[in-house]
């Protein structure tokens, strides 16, 4: 590893765990580590832990902070990207209103820090180094506890107003559908997120349907998860397969909407739920094919994400590099 090169750190702030990686200018990961977020301790404690994690991956990667050009942080919520402020984190205690996260990390490290929404970070990672690296126009969906997303147009991440472009999980699928956590009714997230899939499994067991879902968790309904339902489906459970087909159907409607509006070359499906692979992708493709009528659908690839849990860190680091270049390459902090 050449000691004169510039390096970047990408951080992925999650509700349960926080991860960081040291990358070079070509996106190669030299070191990465994770720690519990312990968000219940408050934002000051989390930020201090984040700073220690950054120091750890840099030192264990064999470089010094003087060689780190910038730090990118993927944050699961609303941001003021220009000022480096967190505005609202819906899934972390205290919601972090007005927390100057970028400034705090800069003060702790002496390195410029830049914020980006966590799923926009995943999108940028997949575009730059993953499934979308050969296309200029793509949409990414990350399906987990919620459904987030991002859009790339002409090779560039589409930010929209305040970096909010790409909230694909909050498009309305059914105006009379279930209440979503965002306050709307009938959002895609309410139909096909991880918790929505788990709820379908719980309902199947409660209704006494012939399924192994209950047996696999010793009838502890709180233990029913998308992963467990996927396991049942792999074992030939028809109810479990139908649950994934239902989720894929709803996601397919959302994907068809995105294809019709954006006409992308590729739709990338990531997140924990996407680990189900073709069990989920097949109904997504079929539903989108049936509904995207005015776009040359045969030219659109609908594929699984490639980078797994590294995508957010890689995308955040890429964002930091892009922002540093955009402001003239200066390492001076705000």
Q: What is the pLDDT of residue 3?
A: 47
Residue 74 dihedral angles phi and psi, to the nearest 5°:
-85, 125
pLDDT tier, 99 (very low <50, low <70, confident <90, very high otherwise): very high
The angle formed by the CA atoms of residues 187, 147 and 234, to the nearest 5 degrees, is 110
Of residues 81, 61, 65, the one with CA closest to residue 73: 81
Q: What is the pLDDT of residue 334?
A: 47
Please compute the mean of the pLDDT values over residues 212-230 and round it to a whole number: 97
pLDDT in tens, 118-140: 999 999 999 999 999 999 999 99
Mean pLDDT of 253-275: 97
Per-residue pLDDT at 5 = 64
| pLDDT: which is higher, 288 or 326 | 288
Cα–Cα distances (Å) from 32 to 4, 76, 259, 312, in that order, read: 21, 20, 35, 12
Angle at which helix 238-262 crosses helix 278-291, to 10 degrees, equals: 50
Average pLDDT, the chain: 95
243-253 average pLDDT score: 98
Checking if the pLDDT of 279 tops 60, the result is yes
Question: How do 7-13 and 17-24 pair as beta strands?
Answer: antiparallel
In the chain, where are the structural domains located?
7-122+310-326, 132-306
Position 330 scores a pLDDT of 57
Interval 70-86 mean pLDDT: 96
With 60 as the cut, is the pLDDT of residue 277 above it?
A: yes
State the pLDDT at residue 227.
97
pLDDT of residue 291: 97
Torsion 318-319-321-322 (CA) sign: positive
The pLDDT confidence band at residue 327, using thresholds 50, 70 and 90, is: confident
Cα(244)–Cα(283) distance, integer angstroms: 8
194, 272 Cβ separation under 8 angstroms: yes
Structure confidence at residue 2 (pLDDT): 44
Judge whether residue 236 has pLDDT over 50.
yes
DSSP at 193: S
Residue with tokens 């894929």: 248
Closest CA to 16 of 34, 32, 38, 33: 38
Residue 244 has pLDDT above 80, yes or no: yes
Let me know if the fold of 7-122+310-326 is the same as that of 132-306. yes
What is this structure's pTM? 0.93
- pLDDT at 333 exceeding the cut of 60: no
Give the three-class secondary structure for 167. Answer: coil
The topology under which CATH files domain 132-306 is Nucleotidyltransferase; domain 5 (3.30.420)
pLDDT for residue 205 is more than 50: yes
Architecture of the 7-122+310-326 domain? 2-Layer Sandwich (3.30)
Instruction: Name the percent of the chain lying above pLDDT 70.
Output: 97
On whether the CB atoms of residues 75 and 67 are closer than 8 A, the answer is no
- Split at pLDDT 50, 70, 90, the class of 86 is very high
Alpha carbons 44 and 55: distance in angstroms, whole number: 17
């Amino acid at each position: 590893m050449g000691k004169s090169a510039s390096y970047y750190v990408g951080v992925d702030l999650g509700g349960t765990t926080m991860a960081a990686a040291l990358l070079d200018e070509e996106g190669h990961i030299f070191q990465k580590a994770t720690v519990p977020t312990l968000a219940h301790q408050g934002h000051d404690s989390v930020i201090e832990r984040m700073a220690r994690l950054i120091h750890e991956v840099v030192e264990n990667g064999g470089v010094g902070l003087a060689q780190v050009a910038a730090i990118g942080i993927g944050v699961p919520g609303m941001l003021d990207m220009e000022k480096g402020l967190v505005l609202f984190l819906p899934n972390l205690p205290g919601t972090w209103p007005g927390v100057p996260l970028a400034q705090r990390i800069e003060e702790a490290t002496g390195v410029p820090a830049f914020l980006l929404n966590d799923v926009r970070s995943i999108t940028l990672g997949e575009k730059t180094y993953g499934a979308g690296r050969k296309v200029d126009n793509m949409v990414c969906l990350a399906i987990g506890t919620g459904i987030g997303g991002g859009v790339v147009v002409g090779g560039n991440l589409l930010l929209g107003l305040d970096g909010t472009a790409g909230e694909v999980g909050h498009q309305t699928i059914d105006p009379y559908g279930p209440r979503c956590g965002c306050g709307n009714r009938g959002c895609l997230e309410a139909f096909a997120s991880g918790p929505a899939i788990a709820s379908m499994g719980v309902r199947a067991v409660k209704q006494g349907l012939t399924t192994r879902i209950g047996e696999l968790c010793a009838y502890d309904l709180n233990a029913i998860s998308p992963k467990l339902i996927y396991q049942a489906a792999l074992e030939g459970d028809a109810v479990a397969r139908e649950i994934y087909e239902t989720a894929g159907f709803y996601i397919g409607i959302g994907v068809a909407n995105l294809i019709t509006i954006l006409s992308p070359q590729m739709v990338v499906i990531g997140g924990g739920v996407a680990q189900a692979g073709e069990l989920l992708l097949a109904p997504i493709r079929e539903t989108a094919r049936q509904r995207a009528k005015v776009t040359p659908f045969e030219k659109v690839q609908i594929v699984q994400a490639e980078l797994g849990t590294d995508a957010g860190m890689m995308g955040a680091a890429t964002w930091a590099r892009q922002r540093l270049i955009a402001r003239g390459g200066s390492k001076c902090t705000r």
